[in-house]
Homo-oligomer: A and B are copies of this chain.
């Protein structure tokens, strides 16, 4: 827990700001203990650091007003979506005001011809896709949780189909955000392409609330594919599975998803869902396209997989069969937790060049075994990104410490392979100490210069990303 520090609190400023905001917003300035605790970090193993108050703003101009008050009294502002991030992004180590965007959940426009949608940040990805169903379009980024799109943008989320459709960085066309000064920034026009000035869109995406509070997003949409095929294949080793991934991508097969489950994860799913899969590494794939194309693609993949020693290759285009084939992946998290009931999951998130993936996964497995951890692995292997989920007894400080040591070791290993400590979970508090190791002093200096330039009072989500 060493990395969750309490920062100095500006007690007088916080009290005054809450008073001023109460005069304007009345009981909408919520200060109840339970409500505040819910708005600190909930889905992580990191310690909860609640804000001093929570407000659910209803408009960009209301956010501007609140930010101006907070700037005047030098009070931290922490944006909140659904709280499903994993690295302490919404903790309030110096206290402050949490802005919960649940009431800014309007879909403002769907431009079907331009294949984009303009939304408020509190819209969740499932709500957007439900709204889009009749248009033949969908928003592809899928981090698993039904996160808010504002939070997904702020943390640069991705997930299983980033290999085909990219991450939030690739799918946010433009955004509006409130700056620490209270000004609103429009990051880009709605055109598909622009070279007009600094790429503020992609700077704010992934900046974890430290530069701007997102109040509107313009998102790229995709056409719902005519057909989807799913395929699975078992492999004698992680190397054989990873070599298959490399061959598949090099061949140019436009896989929509390509996921790895290691043998322990397959074992967990067999037990949880009463499946009878061989307890060896498993690849699960999905292809999107025309009826003919997705069958051909699954076929080509089957050929590659068999050459690499794959067995039990199965594919289908029927929806119910797809769901069954992918059940192992859908159940992975809950199945993993059942391997050690009562334990909490600590997830790693390294991402390495695909050529190093087998080495990295194999080394991770060896150290997990040596350390005595129960820790299944799932990976978005088309991108070189994988998670080991360490099942840890949080009441055992020695075990927690050993888990932290493993996380640090794996982060360093990935960095030594020209990879990153975080493919999609972000830095937050949990990985603040690794960013410098990964990118070095020049990058840290540039990030701090940007932060200082945009937020000289350091009121936007302080204590995150190792910037202060």
Of A211, A251, A423, A452, which is in contact with the most chain B CB atoms at under 10 Å from its CB? Answer: A423
A196 CA / B193 CA spacing, docked (Å): 25
Give a binary string over A159-184; 1 marks a CB under 8 Å from any B CB, 0 the rest. 00010000101100000000101011
Query: How distant is A378 from chain B, measured CB to nearest CB, in Å?
Result: 15
Query: How distant is A375 from chain B, measured CB to nearest CB, in Å?
Result: 21
> Number of contact residues on A: which range applies?
35 or more
Tell me which of B113, B198, B427 contacts A450 (CB under 8 A).
B198
A450 CA / B207 CA spacing, docked (Å): 14
Q: A196-B435, A351-B191, A453-B452 are in contact. Are A183 and B442 (CB under 8 A)?
A: yes
Tell me which of B115, B418, B419, B425 contacts A249 (CB under 8 A).
B115
Of A181, A185, A249, which is in contact with the most chain B CB atoms at under 10 Å from its CB? Answer: A185
Point out the residues of chain B lying under 8 angstroms from A114, CB to CB.
353-355
Query: How distant is A150 from chain B, measured CB to nearest CB, in Å?
Result: 15
Point out the residues of chain B lying under 8 angstroms from A200, CB to CB.
443, 446-447
A162 CA / B195 CA spacing, docked (Å): 13
Asked if A465 and B197 sit within 8 Å, CB to CB, the answer is yes
Asked if B449 and A453 sit within 8 Å, CB to CB, the answer is yes
A181 CA / B206 CA spacing, docked (Å): 25
Of A198, A380, A385, which is in contact with the most chain B CB atoms at under 10 Å from its CB? Answer: A198
Point out the residues of chain B lying under 8 angstroms from A366, CB to CB.
none
Tell me which of B170, B188, B289, B420 contacts A194 (CB under 8 A).
B420
Point out the residues of chain B lying under 8 angstroms from A203, CB to CB.
198-199, 202-203, 450
Asked if A420 and B185 sit within 8 Å, CB to CB, the answer is no
Chain A residues 303-353 with CB under 8 Å of chain B are: 351-353
Give a binary string over A352-377; 1 marks a CB under 8 Å from any B CB, 0 the rest. 11110000000000000000000000
Point out the residues of chain B lying under 8 angstroms from A252, CB to CB.
222-223, 225-226, 289
Q: A115-B250, A439-B186, A443-B187 are in contact. Are A427 and B354 (CB under 8 A)?
A: no
Check if A441 is an interface residue, CB within 8 A of chain B: yes
Chain A residues 431-466 with CB under 8 Å of chain B are: 431, 434-435, 438-443, 445-447, 449-454, 465
Asked if B352 and A191 sit within 8 Å, CB to CB, the answer is yes
Query: How distant is A333 from chain B, measured CB to nearest CB, in Å?
Result: 19
Asked if A447 and B353 sit within 8 Å, CB to CB, the answer is no
Known interface pairs A192-B384, A197-B206; 6 further A-B residue pairs with C-beta atoms within 8 A, sorted by A's residue number: A114-B353, A115-B249, A193-B424, A196-B431, A196-B434, A449-B454
